[in-house]
Amino acid sequence: MFHALRDPARLRLLVLLSQGERCVTELVGFEQAKLGSISARLKVLHAARLVKRRREAKHVFYALADEHVLTLLQSVLTHAAEHPEAASS
């Protein structure tokens, strides 16, 4: 789980998903990244059980797996903001 959280791009996806369920194509637009990159990041997050997915016709939607993920994400972001010097060490 922490391996999945260590990548800033995956964290950005979790922040977007903390605002509600999103279609993969929406996430591609927000991140200005290629579909393959977003899909690979989502695959890691899904394997770590941080996100859940559902299919609706040709569209795949992702959301945070549960409220515990939101709490974990908030804690990670708060901790990072309190200790910016740790990021440069």
pLDDT digits (tens, 9 = 90+) for 31-51: 989 999 999 999 999 999 999
Half-sphere exposure of 81 (CA within 13 A, CB side): 6
Q: Which domain holds residue 79?
A: 2-87
Strands 22-23 and 59-64: antiparallel
Distance between CA atoms of residues 42 and 53, nearest Å: 9
- Return the CATH number at 75: 1.10.10.10
Entry pTM: 0.86
46-87 pLDDT, tens per residue? 999 999 999 999 999 999 999 999 999 999 889 888 866 655
Q: Which pLDDT belongs to residue 83?
A: 66
Domain count, the chain: 1
Tokens in use for 89?
């060490």
Q: Which pLDDT belongs to residue 38?
A: 96
